[in-house]
């Protein structure tokens, strides 16, 4: 039961209402309530003190939202909630349904605070001091870290707590939910400390490989049905004995390569060898495959005289997955040295990019 006796100040009443019956000692003192009065009310069971210096103005235990507000008040100005506490605010279920007073919020409270502020872990609340507190998302009075950052912090905390088995479920739940993309998780992970991150990096790499393979298959389906013909599908590109890159499709007679989710070093290597590279972002295969096919057709039209560079070999990876002569299928197909792409070719360093919707160079 709520107990607001002696809290008649209108400003204080408004603050209590906004904070769902939770108040910090500093807020109470600023409105004329003594610390001794607060202490006595806790001793008599009229109020609860979930964390030091923060009170739930009721005799019963705080609910989930009150715990979150108490954690934020303890963490102080400039702090943001993150980890599983933040995921519960976003409504993202990890490890079971999110109950109003359940363990997802209460047992996994986590806040990021500016490095200059001295705070320590207390009760159920984990404190992480950082020089890079993210811009928060607002949910009423709550300040919550962006979803991708909250996912990464959830996984790192799970590993630190010895709960490595939760990492796969958290990442899978986040990607399945659809509000966060793998590229966002990669970006946030790139900024995270290396400590405790090995398992998460492996999980992200596996998810990325799966996403790339799935998107490549979808691209090949679109090319076979509607795209320019003459493509060699699912190819590894070698320079001598060194594997340079992997492409979802290559048009050998034009030295055009379509790559899906390829790392930057592969793209740079292909460009340096004389390929025109159509860079495909996995989610655009689902959202706008027609624009991808237009980019490929444009790249092919710009290179009527281009051919494969000297010393380049192609290994059709798709053939290694089928039955038959696996050994012969694994032998690279050498490019004809007489059909080398010359430096005078106007398309030697050409690049055609396909970017995510909403990014620079947006296509529709």
What single DSSP character describes residue 317?
G
Whether the per-residue pLDDT at 126 is higher than 70: the answer is yes
The arithmetic mean of pLDDT across residues 265-286, rounded, is: 92
Angstrom distance (rounded) from CA 150 to CA 153? 5
The pLDDT score that the predictor gives to residue 66 is: 95
The pLDDT score that the predictor gives to residue 196 is: 84
The pLDDT score that the predictor gives to residue 95 is: 63
Collect contacts of 97-104 with beta carbons under 8 A, ≥24 apart: 99/64, 100/63, 100/64, 100/65, 101/61, 101/63, 101/64, 102/64
Backbone region of residue 78 per phi and psi (left: phi > 0; alpha: psi in -120 to 50; beta: other values): left
> Tell me: the pLDDT tens digits for 283-328?
888 889 999 999 999 999 998 888 887 889 999 885 434 333 334 3
Residue for token pair 């005799």: 59
Which residue has better confidence, 88 or 346? 88
The arithmetic mean of pLDDT across residues 112-122, rounded, is: 91
The arithmetic mean of pLDDT across residues 20-48, rounded, is: 91
What are the residue ranges spanned by the domains of the chain? 10-62, 65-196, 227-353
Q: What is the 3-state secondary structure of 198-243?
A: HHHHHHHHHHHHHHHHHHHHHHHHHHHHHCCCCCEEEEEEEECCEE
Cβ atoms of residues 248 and 233 within 8 Å: yes
pLDDT over 90 percentage in the chain: 60
Instruction: Give the model's confidence band at 236: pLDDT under 50 very low, under 70 low, under 90 confident, else very high.
Output: very high
Tokens read off for 232: 């060699």
Helices (H), the chain: 10-18, 25-30, 35-43, 64-75, 83-90, 103-106, 147-160, 166-177, 182-191, 198-226, 264-273, 282-287, 289-301, 326-329
**Secondary structure (DSSP) of 59-71:** SSPP-HHHHHHHH
Please tell me the least confidently modeled range out of 83-97, 100-114, 323-337: 323-337
Whether the per-residue pLDDT at 173 is higher than 90: the answer is yes
Q: Which pTM does this prediction carry?
A: 0.72
Whether the per-residue pLDDT at 357 is higher than 60: the answer is no
Instruction: Give the model's confidence band at 353: pLDDT under 50 very low, under 70 low, under 90 confident, else very high.
Output: very low
Instruction: Give the model's confidence band at 206: pLDDT under 50 very low, under 70 low, under 90 confident, else very high.
Output: very high
pLDDT over 70 percentage in the chain: 83
Give the CATH number of domain 10-62; options: 1.10.10, 1.10.150, 3.40.720, 1.10.287.
1.10.10
């Amino acid at each position: 039961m709520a107990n607001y006796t002696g809290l008649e100040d209108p400003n204080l009443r408004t603050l209590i209402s906004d904070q769902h019956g939770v108040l910090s000692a500093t807020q109470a003192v600023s409105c004329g309530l003594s610390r001794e009065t607060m202490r006595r009310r806790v001793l008599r069971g009229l109020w609860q003190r979930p964390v030091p210096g923060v009170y739930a103005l009721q005799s019963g235990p705080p609910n989930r939202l009150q715990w979150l507000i108490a954690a934020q008040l303890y963490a102080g100005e400039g702090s943001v909630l993150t980890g599983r506490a933040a995921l519960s605010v976003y409504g993202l279920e990890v490890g079971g349904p999110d109950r109003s007073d359940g363990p997802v919020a209460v047992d996994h409270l986590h806040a990021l605070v500016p490095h200059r502020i001295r705070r320590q872990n207390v009760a159920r609340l984990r404190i992480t001091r950082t020089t890079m507190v993210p811009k928060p998302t607002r949910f009423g009075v709550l300040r919550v870290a962006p979803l991708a950052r909250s996912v990464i912090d959830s996984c790192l905390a799970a590993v630190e707590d010895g709960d490595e088995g939760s990492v796969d479920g958290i990442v899978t739940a986040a990607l399945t939910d659809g509000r966060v993309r793998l590229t966002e998780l990669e970006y946030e992970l790139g900024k995270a400390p290396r400590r405790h991150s090995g398992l998460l990096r492996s999980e992200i790499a596996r998810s990325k490989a799966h996403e790339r393979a799935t998107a490549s298959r979808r691209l090949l389906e679109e090319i076979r049905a509607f795209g320019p013909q003459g493509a060699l599908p699912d190819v590894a590109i070698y320079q001598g004995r060194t594997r340079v890159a992997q492409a979802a499709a290559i048009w050998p007679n034009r030295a055009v390569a379509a790559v899906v989710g390829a790392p930057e070093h592969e793209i740079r290597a292909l460009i340096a060898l004389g390929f025109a590279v159509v860079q495909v972002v996995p989610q655009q295969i689902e959202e706008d495959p027609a624009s991808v096919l237009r980019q490929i057709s444009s790249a092919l039209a710009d290179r009527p005289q281009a051919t494969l560079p000297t010393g380049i070999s192609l290994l059709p990876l798709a053939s290694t997955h089928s039955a038959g002569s696996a050994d012969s299928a694994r032998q690279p197909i050498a490019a004809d040295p007489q059909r080398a792409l010359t430096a005078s070719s106007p398309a030697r360093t050409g690049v055609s990019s396909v970017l995510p919707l909403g990014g620079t160079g947006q296509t529709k």
